[in-house]
Amino acid sequence: MSSSRKTEVLQLLRSSNDYVSGQQICESFGISRTAVWKIINQLKDEGYEIEAVQNKGYFLSSAPDVLSLSELKSRMKTKMAGSHLLYFDEIGSTNIEAKKQAENGAPNGLLVVADKQNQGRGRRGRSWESPAGMNIFMTIMLRPSFAPDKASMITLVMAVSVAQAIADVTRLSVGIKWPNDIVVNKKKVVGILTELTTETDYIQHLVCGVGINVNQTDFPEAIAATATSLYLESGRKINRGELIEKSMEHFEENYEIFCKTESMEGLIVDYNSLLVNKEAQVRVLDPKGEYDGISHGITEMGELIVEKADGTVENVYAGEVSVRGIYGYV
């Protein structure tokens, strides 16, 4: 049975608030009763709870926290973000795979998702190995028309989008530590890494990778003081498929707003409302020399506005500069 048929049946069950008759499924997809029965049993084997009632049909009563191509495709309602999907049980890096797909002509909005990543990279090349079945590793590939110097702002657009999605799904109080770490209770739950492939004055393609600590229960000692998961903060298991779905919906909407001005102009209020270090003391770790100041939010170009003690104002560009709280990570 093709996975596309399974996806279509799952989509039909998911979109209905009532029982769907076997006959309706047969007619919708031009398949036999036996084929329907096989698909329903496949879905049950994967952990979907489907009630089957004679003369009424099938009802999807609960979905497991599984990532699969069928699960993700059945959720996507977006036009661009995630409209084309690749899923891997395990992969080196979703960013590397997305770049490879881009070079092979993949369409704008391709989303690469993995259940486990074993060559993940963070800012400044830090690497880590991630456990399977707990977190989200995804990368969207874009073919934008804006100039390469605007691309760093996509990280901020994605940060707003994922923060909004987490708030939707978990009801947790979520913040952004400039430029792109998403935090809950002053601990990091999301990292974002954007990479470009450019010609002299235009972007061939851009990949924006997102790692979300979703249902992880513990962390290595080295990062336990600054990292947490949505499960640890909320006290309940979070459905990763739903979180990916919401992230792509918010990203599509926010990316469209960004592209109108090629700046953070239309998103600056949303971003600053999530910024945990707004009107707070920060330490700017600039290779040219550290300094302290008060953060006043971002500019339309995504720079952090920092007022020093002497009243001078610096617009800090992410690049190689980090910002910390005076007394810790945030």
Domains defined along the chain, listed by start = 3-62 (1.10.10.10), 69-274 (3.30.930.10), 281-325 (2.30.30.100)
Please write the tens of the pLDDT for every residue from 300-318.
Answer: 999 999 999 899 999 988 7
pTM of the model: 0.90
For the chain, what percent of residues have pLDDT higher than 70? 93
Helices (H), the chain: 3-15, 22-29, 33-45, 69-75, 94-103, 153-170, 230-234, 240-261, 268-274
Beta-carbon contacts of residue 43 (< 8 Å; ≥ 6 apart): 6, 9, 10, 50
Report the C-alpha gap between 2 and 73 in whole angstroms: 14
The answer, yes or no, to whether residue 272 has pLDDT greater than 90, is: yes
Axis crossing angle, helix 22-29 with helix 3-15, rounded to the nearest 10 = 130
Cα angle: 115, vertex 118, 124; to 5 degrees: 115
pLDDT at 66: 86
pLDDT of residue 80: 97
Q: What is the pLDDT of residues 116-172, one digit of tens each?
A: 887 655 544 455 556 788 999 999 999 999 999 999 999 999 999 999 999 999 999
Query: Residue 41: what pLDDT?
Result: 94
- CB neighbour list of residue 41: distance below 8 Å, 6 or more residues apart: none
Q: What pLDDT digit, counting tens, does each position of 166-200 carry?
A: 999 999 999 999 988 999 999 999 999 999 998 88
DSSP reduced 3-state for 326: coil
Task: Please enumerate in sequence order all residues whose Cβ is within 8 A of that of 68, keeping only pairs 6 or more positions apart, or say none.
Answer: 46, 87
| Exposure b/e, 273-305, CB count within 10 A at least 16 = b | ebbbbbeeebbbeeeeeebebbbbbbbebbbbb
Overall residue count recorded for the chain in this entry: 330
∠ at Cα 328 (323, 330), nearest 5°?
55
The two three-digit tokens of residue 188, written as one number: 């990091």
